[in-house]
Amino acid sequence: MSLSASGDNPARFMSLPSWLMTQAGVHAHRLVTEGLAAEGARGYHYRLLSVLDDSGPASQAQLGRRSGIHLSDLVAAINELADRGFIHRSPDPADRRRNIITITGNGRRGLRRLDKKLLRVQEELLSPLSAGERDQLARLLTQILGHQGR
């Protein structure tokens, strides 16, 4: 966004907490996106691979629920991961509507690379904060997000 570096009095919208939160979110999102892009992946890929690694093979509908990715967006993301040989899509013999998605050895290796990359991204993102401040921030954000679901 690059707000004017010049000596302009900052506009009033920039002091709103909602602005700070949105900007911090944009910043975090950008760091993550750039980090993943450097490894040839994007957010949806990491979310899907980590869900598969955490909870095992699943249908696309299950994956959507666990990763928070819309069914309509899953198709493309799954195709991309399958193209890279990171996952395997096979029909469920017990229910012919379903595809069973399985992570491959290749996918697990890729996931480990992404995990490491994201660890470094967290470090860069939080570098201005002490360990105590990092915990505090996570606590406050979790409180706000907990309130969100009404």
Smallest gap from Cβ 91 to its own copies, in A, equals 24
Smallest gap from Cβ 59 to DNA, in A, equals 3
Q: State the binding partner of 61 from DNA, its own copies, none, CB within 5 to 8 A by kind.
A: DNA
Q: Rounded CA gap, 20 and 12, in Å?
A: 12
Q: Which is nearer to DNA, 20 or 26 (CB)?
A: 26
Smallest gap from Cβ 9 to DNA, in A, equals 18
CB contact burial 30-53 (16+ within 10 A = b; e otherwise): ebbeebbeeeebeebbbbbbbbbe
Q: Rounded CA gap, 51 and 36, in Å?
A: 16
The amino acid at 7: G
The amino acid at 74: L
CA nearest to 28, candidates 147, 139, 137: 137
Q: How far is CA 142 from CA 113, 145, 149, in A?
A: 27, 5, 12
Q: Which is nearer to DNA, 33 or 104 (CB)?
A: 33
Smallest gap from Cβ 14 to DNA, in A, equals 11
Q: Which is nearer to DNA, 24 or 137 (CB)?
A: 24
Q: Applying CB under 7 A, which residues contact DNA?
A: 1-2, 26, 29, 33, 42-44, 59-62, 64, 68-75, 78, 92, 95-99
Q: Please report, in angstroms and rounded to a whole number, the separation of the first and last CA atoms in the chain.
A: 32
Q: Applying CB under 8 A, which residues contact its own copies?
A: 1-6, 8-9, 11-13, 16-18, 20-29, 31-32, 46-47, 50-51, 53-55, 65-68, 118, 121-122, 125-129, 133-134, 136-138, 140-149
